[in-house]
Amino acid sequence: MGDVKEEPTKYDSSDYAVGEMEVDDKKLLRRVDWQILPIMFLTYFLQFVDKISLNYANVMGLQDDLNMSGNDFSWLATAFFIAYAVAEIPQGALLQRFPITKVLGINVFLWGVFLCCSSATQNYAGMMALRILLGMVEAVIAPALTMYTSMWYTRAESTPRYGFWYCGLGAGQIVGGIISFGAQHAPKDAAFNGWRIMFVVVGAVNVLVSILVFFVLPETPDKARFLTEPERQRIAVRLSQDQAGVGMKVFRWRSLLEAFGDLQTLLLVLLTILITIPSGVITTFSSILIKGFGYNSMQSALLNMPSGVVSIFSTMVSTYAIAKGFSRWLAIVVLLVPTLLGACLMSFLPHSNQAGLLVGIYMVNTTVAPLALIFAWTGANFKGYTMKVSGSSIVSAGFSIANIIGPQTFQSRDAPQYMPAKITIVAVNAAAMVVVVLLRTIYGLRNARANRSGTPARSFLERRMAGKSAVQDVHDDRNFRYVY
């Protein structure tokens, strides 16, 4: 029951003849990378900045300006992710029916509009309504980018690409700190003060990037005008040989049932929840925690920036290692070790140890990287368009659930230590390690069964339903194996 790892792609070393032309795979990949990855990075970067803008606004006087009290701020964060989770179903349906780039582009435009409108709110109710709307339109991001990446790259190639656009999260932490620091220099008594300026600036950039998504990103490789016809054919051949891609864009009830009834789905959702709770807590409340260590608002914004460096470094190193053959499940366990240590530092060190507490917060940010690996896992191990859309949406809903739970561990009565929230981070990280090992065992057993029978690796439900449909929405290649 050996590991099936993300081996370096076997297609990179030679040129391949397609039609009457030779196609160099390395040059083809570089061309695709330069065309689509920067825009994907920008979209993920902006949706994260949208989320943490509330975090920074909180230390810039948001609660005082909107007359908030008690747990009002926690409920703003919670309401966003309740809407995010509920919207996964309609957003998934839109991705199934319409081109991914068009659905994503319209949603990014709406992010910008709602964020700009947030700058004009005068009370808690208005901000709550806009956070709910923002959560609904941002729900598209993870399923859309997961599906879109799967359209272009083999399973081994896709892993570092997931890591690249997912680094938008770390970049958001860094740039968000700079934006917050700059906005806090606005006059305190101005009617349009710092956090309002921040919302307008970030919202306007969202609107501009939505134009790039809608008009520059190709809908599919077949419609990519920057590629020649032999290059488009070569992408299709490579994905077929690797049992990758998204399959025919046709809705299959069978594939939907297989996605919901698959044990890997349950475990991936559980793993996402356990990993995201610490990430969500740090994302929404890191500025508050740092300020509680004895720093002012401006210092908190700047001191939060190294968290982004940790996020980027851990994401890129882990995805690169996997692309070179390192086991994905083991990479997640390794990443969770510093997360667990960091959680212990920020939870149990004396409040006077500012340096140790800051190091703890920075170390917890290694929990960000495993989520990129889960997205890549979903893109690689779910088969067919419907199953990939469903699996990505379900996993993304797990992300929302975790972010609903996380803010509620921060209760105003626990300020400024917030000890229950810190202990929660320790507990869920330990549990995540157990789930990772269980998921690796499931994949190994399925691959071993497939090796003995000479059939594709698949779940129990897939085996039961095999042969009942004349049209298959899965890869029937008997060489298909789960990667882990």
Quickly tell me which residue has 């968290």 as its tokens.
307
- Look at residue 4 and tell me if it is in a domain: no
- Look at residue 332 and tell me if it is in a domain: yes
pLDDT tens string 221-247: 888 888 888 888 888 888 877 665 555
- Look at residue 429 and tell me if it is in a domain: yes
DSSP 414-453: GTTT-HHHHHHHHHHHHHHHHHHHHHHHHHHHHHHHHHHH
pLDDT tens string 125-156: 999 999 999 999 998 998 899 889 988 888 77
- Look at residue 474 and tell me if it is in a domain: no
- 70 in the Ramachandran plot: left (φ > 0), alpha (ψ -120 to 50) or beta? left
- Kindly state the helix (H) or strand (E) to which residue 22 belongs, with its residue range: strand 21-24
Cα separation of 335 and 338, whole Å? Answer: 6
Residue 9: pLDDT band by 50, 70, 90 thresholds?
Answer: very low
Cβ–Cβ under 8 Å, residues 43 and 210: no
Cα separation of 202 and 222, whole Å? Answer: 33
- Look at residue 9 and tell me if it is in a domain: no
What is the 8-class DSSP label of residue 454? T
User: What is the model's pLDDT at position 19?
Assistant: 45
Residue 251: pLDDT band by 50, 70, 90 thresholds?
Answer: low
pLDDT at 12 over 60: no
Cβ–Cβ under 8 Å, residues 319 and 373: yes
Catalogue the long-range contacts made by 447-455 (C-beta closer than 8 Å, 24 or more residues apart): 447/1, 447/4, 447/481, 447/482, 448/1, 450/478, 450/480, 450/481, 454/478
Domain span at residue 150 reads 15-465
- Look at residue 483 and tell me if it is in a domain: no
Q: Which of 200, 190, 244, 182 is nearest to 388 (CA)?
A: 244
User: What is the model's pLDDT at position 284?
Assistant: 61
pLDDT at 189 over 70: no
- Look at residue 480 and tell me if it is in a domain: no
- 247 in the Ramachandran plot: left (φ > 0), alpha (ψ -120 to 50) or beta? left
Q: Which of 271, 429, 407 is nearest to 360 (CA)?
A: 429
pLDDT tens string 79-127: 888 898 889 889 888 988 889 999 999 999 999 999 999 888 888 999 9
pLDDT tens string 265-318: 889 999 998 988 877 666 666 767 777 777 777 777 788 788 888 889 998 888
Q: Which of 277, 419, 405 is nearest to 346 (CA)?
A: 419
Q: Which of 164, 83, 64, 167 is nearest to 124 (CA)?
A: 64
Lowest model confidence (mean pLDDT) among 32-41, 274-283, 450-459, 464-473 = 464-473
Give the type of residue at 86. V
- Look at residue 370 and tell me if it is in a domain: yes
Which CA distances in Å does 103 have to 244, 286, 391, 484?
A: 23, 32, 18, 31
pTM: 0.79
User: What is the model's pLDDT at position 183?
Assistant: 66
Q: What is the largest CA-CA distance in the chain?
A: 73
CATH number at residue 447: 1.20.1250.20
Query: Mean pLDDT in the chain?
Result: 80
Tokens of 348: 């149990």
Give me the number of domains the chain comprises: 1
Question: Mutual orientation of helices 305-323 and 354-364 as an angle, nearest 10°?
Answer: 40
